[in-house]
Amino acid sequence: MERTYEYLERLKKYIISYDKPAQIMEVCGTHTFQFFATGIRDMLPPHIKLLSGPGCPVCVTPTSYIDRVIKMLEKYPDIIITTFGDMLKVPGTNRKSLVHMKSEGKDIRVVYAPEDAVKIAEEEKRPVVFLSVGFETTIAPIAAALDLAEQASIDKFYLLLSHKLIIPALKALLSDPEAEIDGFILPGHVSAIIGKRPYEPVLRKYGKPGVITGFEGHHLIIGTATLLKLIKEGKSEVINAYPEVVRDKGNRQALSLINKYFIPTDEEWRGFGLIPQSGHALREEYRHRDAKRAFPVEVPESQDPPGCLCPEVVKGKKRPPECPHFGKGCTPLHPLGPCMVSSEGACAAYYKYRREDI
Amino acid sequence: MCLGMPMKIVEKLDDAHAVAEALGARRTINIMATPDVKIGEYVMVHAGMAISKVEEKEAEEALEIWSELMNIWND
């Protein structure tokens, strides 16, 4: 125990006395929150900058997705929308959100697990659409829920897909000539699914290091210190600093469940536009579960909230306090953009912990 | 992006489900991605599914990686 303490103290001293400027991206929104909540962000010397990345699924879901759900609810009034709670307040075009639709009497239910949506479909006689939004960690339980619906022949369960895959997003970030990222704190729980290996070719190609990091204070210290050391030594390695949860090969069962139902396809991201092979479509034999196909609607061109810097924030190019709306016209109670809505959004994190910057 | 909760397996219900416990609260979770998990073991739960077993330090792979990390700091 004492040895662990000494080890952490040593890493902490290394971080505090680090003498070179470095820009680190924490890809995952939960890391953004944890860097604030643990106080480790305040411990960093001023020349080490933390940039929040695209790992907040709600933040990178395009406005057109919300607009589609609203159109579906208007055209097919008997459907039940099931969703993770974060999606409710995300503004669509003209700031209309699912909260507004719920107040108009539409049947929108928040679930904790995708499987809960399958149970609703089993009990109700009406079609149930699950808002299938998330990265690999969330796609695994979605695939498991779909598997149960298939096994039990629950026909009225549909997915409205907006899956996001992390490796194509990292490629998109790094191929941007304006990107100023020296290394990545890589997402612990996405890595539990995909493992360490998929990161290696992309980070090697761009000569950047990455450290797979857990979410507790000691994880953040180990991850940050190790990443800084790799940056200083000019190494583009990927290190798994969360081995108690992440295996190098990832989770084989989860990956095969995902591959059973989904195939990669081009996907629209807020801030990035279309990223090749960065999302999912249902495999042909399961296309009857596709809510987009089962409940077609015309979605007029969506409009992002004017002046909202969320598209730049998810790429690490702007910090939330740089947005003219931050903390003024845009607060967690009345969000203008999704980065202020989600419990993983960078704007929500800054609002909670850094209101004095306003 | 993906908050997880470490939970202890207290009962296996079928091939796909188990009851898990954390801080005195119990709930049914999906174990399709960790089918060989045993009662008393810990799993990381996200959106109702065990996405990984939480290994204690005896896991060989984990030890190798920790020693890799220690080597970095022993330079």
Q: Which single residue is written with the structure tokens 């600093």? A: A241
CA atoms of A131 and A88, how far apart (whole Å): 11
**Minimal CA separation from A326 to chain B, in Å:** 21
B1/A57 Cβ within 8 A? yes
pLDDT band per the 50, 70, 90 thresholds, residue A156: very high
CA atoms of B42 and A163, how far apart (whole Å): 28
Please count the CA atoms within 13 angstroms of the CA of A256 that sit on its side-chain side: 6
Query: Is residue A76's pLDDT more than 90?
Result: yes
Query: Is residue B66's pLDDT more than 60?
Result: no
Q: Which pLDDT belongs to residue B63?
A: 44
pLDDT band per the 50, 70, 90 thresholds, residue A357: low
Partners of B66 on chain A (C-beta within 8 Å) are 243
Task: Check if the beta carbon of residue A161 is closer than 8 Å to that of residue A264.
Answer: no
- Beta pairing partners, A328: none
* ipTM of predicted complex: 0.92
Q: Which pLDDT belongs to residue B16?
A: 96
Provide DSSP, A196-222. Answer: STTHHHHHHHHT--EEEE-SSHHHHHH
Give the tokens for residue A325.
Answer: 């709306």
Query: Which of B51, B54, B65 faces A140 most closely, judged by CB atoms?
Result: B51
Query: Which of A138, A229, A243 faces B72 most closely, judged by CB atoms?
Result: A229
Q: What is the pLDDT of residues A182-216, one digit of tens each?
A: 999 999 999 999 999 999 999 999 999 999 999 98
Q: What is the pLDDT of residues A320-341, one digit of tens each?
A: 999 999 999 999 988 999 999 9
The residue of chain B with its CA nearest to that of A248 is B61
Q: CA nearest A351: which of A329, B59, A224, A64?
A: A329
Domains within chain B, CATH numbers bracketed: 5-73 (2.30.30.140)
pTM score:
0.93
Query: Is residue B6's pLDDT more than 60?
Result: yes
Partners of B34 on chain A (C-beta within 8 Å) are 251, 253
CA atoms of B67 and A333, how far apart (whole Å): 47
Mean pLDDT of A112-137: 97
pLDDT band per the 50, 70, 90 thresholds, residue A358: very low
Domains within chain A, CATH numbers bracketed: 2-58+179-240 (3.40.50.11750), 59-165+250-294 (3.40.50.11740), 310-350 (no CATH)
Q: Which single residue is written with the structure tokens 């807020």? A: A270
A187/B34 Cβ within 8 A? no
